[in-house]
Amino acid sequence: MFVAGGYFTLTFYDLFALRTIGHREIPYRVAMLASFTSYAIGHNVGASVLTGGAVRYRIYSAWGLDAISVTKLCFVAGLTFWLGNATVLGLGIAYVPNAASASISCPHGSIAVRLSRS
């Protein structure tokens, strides 16, 4: 159920990227197909930047997008994904600061001590 929910949320990255680069004429169902298949194939085959981009190009080229537009779309979708991850990580560390030292196997407070010495 969580995997399906994760892929469902990933479809909105493509939709947002399409709207950002100015292609509002492409419906959500096409963005959903392109996003789901590109993430599923890209992460299972490997080299997700190349394989996922190729899958997206195959689907979006039928809707009139050229290689430059698909590259922009991939960049915006990737940027949005990583900015979201960084935001959640930052909020998590702000909410529970000691969790960072537990996740990298450091004694409590040693991260703050090391940062203050450098």
- Taking only the tens place, the pLDDT of each residue in 7-37 is 899 899 999 999 999 999 999 999 999 999 9
| Alpha carbons 43 and 40: distance in angstroms, whole number | 6
Largest CA distance in the chain: 57
Confidence (pTM)? 0.75
Domain boundaries, the chain: 2-117
The residue written with tokens 């080299």 in the block is: 47
Q: Is the pLDDT of residue 93 over 50?
A: yes
| Phi-psi category of residue 26: left, alpha or beta, with phi > 0 → left and psi -120 to 50 → alpha | beta
Answer with the residue of higher pLDDT: 72 or 103: 72
